[in-house]
Amino acid sequence: MSRLTEPAGRLEASPLRVAAHNARALGSSVLITNDIGEHAFLTEADYARYLAGRIENGDPLAVGTASAKGLLQKDFIRDQLDFSHQADRTVPRHLLDWKGPNVHTVVVTLRCNFKCLYCHASVVGVEQTDKDMTVETARQVVDLIFSSPNPVLMIEFQGGEPLLNWPVVKFIVQYAKEKNKLHKRALHFALISNFSLLDDEKINFLIAHGVSFCTSLDGPKDLHDKNRVYLGGNSHESVLSGLRKVVARKAAGEKVDTPNAICTITRHSLQRAPEIVDQLVSLGLERIQFGPLDPIGFAKRSWDTIGYTSAEFVKFYADALDYIIELNKKGVKAYEKMALIFMVRILEGGHWRFPNADGVARLAYNHDGSIYTCEEGRLLANEGDEFFKIGHASSSSFTSLLDHPTVRASLLASSSSAQPMCFQCAYNPFCSVLPVYNQGTQGSVFGRMPDNGWCEKMMGLFDVVFTKLQDPEARKILESWLEYKSR
């Protein structure tokens, strides 16, 4: 059954005054959105008036106010469209000014000293060094990364636990920085680690080379340790210890970003949103980021014990967002990452129509040099589906990666305008179709939206956020989070 909603009754739209848009009944309001990513809330009566073409150019709804644009400026009035505004919004939204992949995930090893319940990464034991990236492969990977014409390059170290192959992490940083003296790009690094092996020597090197830190913290000790089993010690304590070390170095004035901690949500987390948020805030972390589980890759195997429905995650998210907004009202500085991404898309409109432009915006490199359109595509390959493998660091040129049929298919599938249901959905301009999820759960990159779990989750999350945006106090707080977007 369709999850699309619309105002009661069939209303005829005036062909002259009503521009193309989608609508969604949301509580007592009607949310309307258009292809360039503008939105407006109308009462049902005003929506009927709009459809009938009875909102004149001088109408307050059309002209707006000093602080809020009206339907005219948002290009909802068909005979008053501002084509210059439309063009400005359309070019970036269709990647027409894009400069190639900028996020490069490098899996330097499959080895890991943790055995997390849901680990998508299909890791191997710490003794299996044949699952490490070699120095030669690392060199080839860095060369390929610099073949991308993007002026901004981000290299993310992932695993397994990347610190288990520390010499190769160091080599990639050093070699990339040497190359960059000639290429002159904005070059960034991020280490995604469980921090258990993060000693002072490594911290010194990483800070000196401008590498940012990211880890996973699933909440209070009992919850974290249940999810993330550390074979060699105390999982929760090792993460906290690493986080505190980096936070202390920043507090001491060293040039390092505040570390990020992503909280993976399992079935055990669903009733504990405030506790989880409190744990992160107590460490001085302003960014709260939840990682919902998806039934793909390794997590699919343990879905019966730790998985949940999309509706259950949306309920958790609504509780957590409520709590964070309440903390903000009390003066606590904290923001929720997904809501921030939504705010950028909804309020600033710079959202791509291909937000998961795998292969074009991001690439993933496995320990053996295999190249995938994205990290999730690599995880699917670990489970036997190599659809998203597009080349190898030893033999592929950058252009051959872009020319791969999978990249084109992923791009086409990422465009929600060509998806049944999506093209009628009011959240279309802000949402993202995830080809890897579709492939992993429904057997094709295009998926089947009416019973697609990703779609159900995203629509639920947008319902939560757009409902909040109608509350002036909550809206003000959400808008204030935009200041964090460049961090």
Stretch touching other proteins by CB under 8 A, among 12-20, 135-143, 237-245, 318-326: 135-143
Let me know: does 144 contact 197? Beta carbons within 8 Å.
no
183 binds other proteins (CB under 8 A): yes
146 binds other proteins (CB under 8 A): yes
Binds other proteins by CB under 8 A, chosen from 11, 53, 80, 171: 171
- Closest separation between CB of residue 11 and other proteins, Å? 22
Binds other proteins by CB under 8 A, chosen from 271, 394, 444, 480: 444
Between residue 289 and residue 328, which ones bind other proteins under the rule CB under 8 A? Answer: none
229 binds other proteins (CB under 8 A): no
Tell me how far apart the 2 most distant CA atoms of the chain are, in Å.
73
- Helix, strand, coil distribution of the chain in percent, nearest 5: 45, 15, 40
- State the amino acid at position 383 in one-letter form: E
442 binds other proteins (CB under 8 A): yes
Residue closer to other proteins by CB (options 350, 420) is 420
- State the amino acid at position 84 in one-letter form: S
Q: How far is CA 110 from CA 103, 234, 303, 382, 437, in A?
A: 20, 21, 22, 11, 22
Binds other proteins by CB under 8 A, chosen from 2, 43, 57, 129: 129
Between residue 43 and residue 102, which ones bind other proteins under the rule CB under 8 A? Answer: 94-101
- Closest separation between CB of residue 348 and other proteins, Å? 21
Residue closer to other proteins by CB (options 187, 306) is 187
423 binds other proteins (CB under 8 A): yes
Residue closer to other proteins by CB (options 309, 444) is 444
Stretch touching other proteins by CB under 8 A, among 12-20, 76-84, 145-153, 313-321: 145-153
Residue closer to other proteins by CB (options 81, 247) is 81
Length of the chain: 487
205 binds other proteins (CB under 8 A): no
Q: For residues 453 and 392, what is the distance between their CA atoms, to the nearest angstrom?
A: 32
Let me know: does 138 contact 108? Beta carbons within 8 Å.
yes
Backbone angles phi, psi at 190, to 5 degrees: -140, 135
Q: For residues 245 and 231, what is the distance between their CA atoms, to the nearest angstrom?
A: 22
- Closest separation between CB of residue 411 and other proteins, Å? 5
Binds other proteins by CB under 8 A, chosen from 141, 206, 273, 407: 407
| DSSP secondary structure, 328-353, as one string | HHTT---EEHHHHHHHIIIII----S
Let me know: does 99 contact 149? Beta carbons within 8 Å.
yes
- Closest separation between CB of residue 253 and other proteins, Å? 30
- Closest separation between CB of residue 453 and other proteins, Å? 14
Stretch touching other proteins by CB under 8 A, among 118-126, 311-319, 337-345, 386-394: 118-126
- Closest separation between CB of residue 185 and other proteins, Å? 11
* Strands 211-216, 152-158: pairing kind: unpaired
Binds other proteins by CB under 8 A, chosen from 412, 476, 479, 487: 412
| DSSP secondary structure, 90-157, as one string | HHHHTTTT--S--EEEEE-BSB-SEEETT-TT--B-TT-GGGBPPHHHHHHHHHHHTTS--SEEEEEE
Let me know: does 194 contact 238? Beta carbons within 8 Å.
yes
* Strands 228-230, 114-116: pairing kind: antiparallel
Contact letters for other proteins, residues 380-399 (x by CB under 8 A): ------------------xx
Interacting residues of 293 by C-beta distance below 8 A, sequence separation 6+: 118, 264, 265, 266, 299, 303, 306, 307, 308
Between residue 321 and residue 380, which ones bind other proteins under the rule CB under 8 A? Answer: 353-354, 357, 360-361
The string over 334-368, giving b where at least 16 C-beta atoms fall within 10 Å of a residue's C-beta and e elsewhere, is bbbbbbbbbbbbbeebebbbbbbbbbbbbbbbbbb
Binds other proteins by CB under 8 A, chosen from 448, 467, 475, 484: 448
Contact letters for other proteins, residues 230-269 (x by CB under 8 A): ----------------------------------------
Let me know: does 93 contact 353? Beta carbons within 8 Å.
yes
139 binds other proteins (CB under 8 A): yes
Binds other proteins by CB under 8 A, chosen from 76, 290, 316, 446: 446
Backbone angles phi, psi at 181, to 5 degrees: -65, -30
284 binds other proteins (CB under 8 A): no
Residue ranges of alpha helices (H) inside 161-229 are: 166-183, 200-208, 221-227
Binding site for other proteins (CB under 8 A): 94-101, 124-130, 132, 134-136, 138-139, 146-147, 149, 166-168, 170-171, 174-175, 178-179, 182-183, 353-354, 357, 360-361, 398-399, 402, 407-408, 411-412, 415, 417-420, 423, 442-444, 446, 448-451
